[in-house]
């Protein structure tokens, strides 16, 4: 054990609780049709999720990307390097059983959406928010027919029922558990259903939505300095966001 961990019992305990790495147990990776979808194969056998279900999706393009994650693994599997696999596992083992609840949670985000809350001062931050948030609001009005109310500060503002109904209708169109799981992940990672839907609709890319979601945080970092641990956590979340956006893109075009 390193001297640093000896001096930091919390980190030593966390390290001891980490599960042992899973050694690579397969040689070949492939994708094949299976019951109306496309399944991952390892050494010719269909792979399974942690819940023992087929690791499969409707989209062949998405499964090819999942296969790439498995193929590039070394002697030990690195879950952090398999974000699409983790997303698909969550879709199959979780979201597929809770589609309506997942849709409802996304709509609730729209009821207090990040992009609707604006700083009054300083003006530089307010301007950055306008530049970052307005494209998602403009897309919602153009694509969904939904106009949202803006609020100054953090005081809650009620949104028009018609706007929330439009978001609900858009979310209802996500009938594929993998797509809904990706939309849910993008929503929770950004704090905004509108940013997530704009990514799903091709109006914003992952990086644009990510910058918008962190415009306040980045402004504060410029003024007070960067928290290295917070940035490391943010980088891990970015990989999840990138995977969610990629899944939405693949499922949209396939």
Is 133 a member of any domain?
A: yes
Same domain, 69 and 104: no
Same domain, 240 and 117: yes
pLDDT (tens digit per residue) in 62-72: 999 999 999 99
Of 53, 79, 105, the position where a domain reaches its end is 79
pLDDT (tens digit per residue) in 205-248: 999 999 999 999 999 999 888 888 888 999 999 999 999 999 99
At 211 the pLDDT is 97
Same domain, 66 and 137: no
Q: Compute the mean pLDDT over every residue in the chain, rounded to the nearest whole number.
A: 92
At 8 the pLDDT is 60
- The answer to whether 151 and 117 are in contact (CB under 8 A) is yes
Same domain, 66 and 103: no
45-46/29-34 β-pairing: unpaired
At 18 the pLDDT is 60
Same domain, 239 and 173: yes
Tell me the average pLDDT across 125-133.
Answer: 97
Is 146 a member of any domain?
A: yes
Is 89 a member of any domain?
A: no
Strand partners, 118: 152
Same domain, 170 and 243: yes
Q: Which residues contact 222 (CB under 8 A, 6 or more apart)?
A: none
Same domain, 60 and 161: no
Is 86 a member of any domain?
A: no
Answer whether residue 196 shows pLDDT above 90.
yes
Is 177 a member of any domain?
A: yes
Is 153 a member of any domain?
A: yes
Banded model confidence at residue 26, pLDDT cuts 50, 70, 90: very high
Answer whether residue 16 shows pLDDT above 80.
no
At 2 the pLDDT is 46
At 20 the pLDDT is 76
Same domain, 162 and 248: yes
At 36 the pLDDT is 77
Same domain, 159 and 231: yes
At 10 the pLDDT is 53
Is 87 a member of any domain?
A: no
Of 19, 53, 79, the position where a domain reaches its end is 79
At 227 the pLDDT is 86
CATH number at residue 125: 1.10.3580.10
Banded model confidence at residue 204, pLDDT cuts 50, 70, 90: very high
Answer whether residue 79 shows pLDDT above 70.
yes
Of the chain, the end-to-end C-alpha distance in Å amounts to 49
Q: 10-14, 42-46, 101-105, 184-188: lowest mean pLDDT where?
A: 10-14
Instruction: Domain of residue 40: give its range.
Output: 3-79
Same domain, 165 and 245: yes
CATH number at residue 12: 3.30.2180.10
Of 23, 54, 79, the position where a domain reaches its end is 79
Tell me the average pLDDT across 84-97.
Answer: 97
Is 116 a member of any domain?
A: yes
Count of domains forming the chain? 2
At 190 the pLDDT is 98
Same domain, 111 and 204: yes
Tell me the average pLDDT across 134-161.
Answer: 95
Same domain, 67 and 152: no
At 1 the pLDDT is 45
């Amino acid at each position: 054990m390193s001297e640093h961990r000896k001096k930091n019992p919390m980190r030593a305990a966390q390290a001891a609780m980490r599960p042992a790495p899973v050694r690579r147990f397969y040689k070949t990776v492939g994708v094949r049709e299976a019951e109306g979808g496309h399944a991952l194969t390892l050494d010719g056998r269909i792979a399974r999720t942690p819940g023992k279900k087929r690791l499969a999706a409707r989209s062949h393009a998405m499964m090819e990307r999942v296969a790439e994650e498995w193929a590039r693994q070394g002697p030990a599997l690195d879950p952090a390097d398999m974000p699409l696999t983790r997303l698909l596992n969550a879709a199959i083992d979780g979201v597929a059983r809770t589609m309506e609840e997942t849709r409802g949670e996304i709509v609730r985000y729209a009821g207090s959406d990040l992009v609707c809350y604006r700083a009054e001062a300083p003006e530089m931050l307010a301007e950055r928010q306008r530049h970052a948030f307005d494209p998602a609001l403009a897309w919602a009005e153009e694509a969904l027919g939904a106009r949202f109310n803006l609020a100054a500060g953090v005081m809650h503002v009620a949104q028009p029922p018609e706007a929330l109904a439009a978001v609900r209708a858009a979310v209802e169109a996500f009938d594929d558990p993998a797509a809904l799981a990706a939309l849910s992940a993008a929503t929770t990672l950004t704090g905004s259903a509108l940013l997530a839907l704009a990514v799903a609709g091709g109006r914003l890319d992952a990086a644009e939505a990510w910058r918008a979601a962190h415009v306040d945080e980045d402004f504060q970092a410029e003024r007070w300095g960067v928290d290295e641990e917070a940035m490391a956590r943010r980088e891990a979340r970015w990989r999840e966001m990138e995977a969610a956006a990629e899944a939405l893109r693949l499922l949209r075009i396939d």
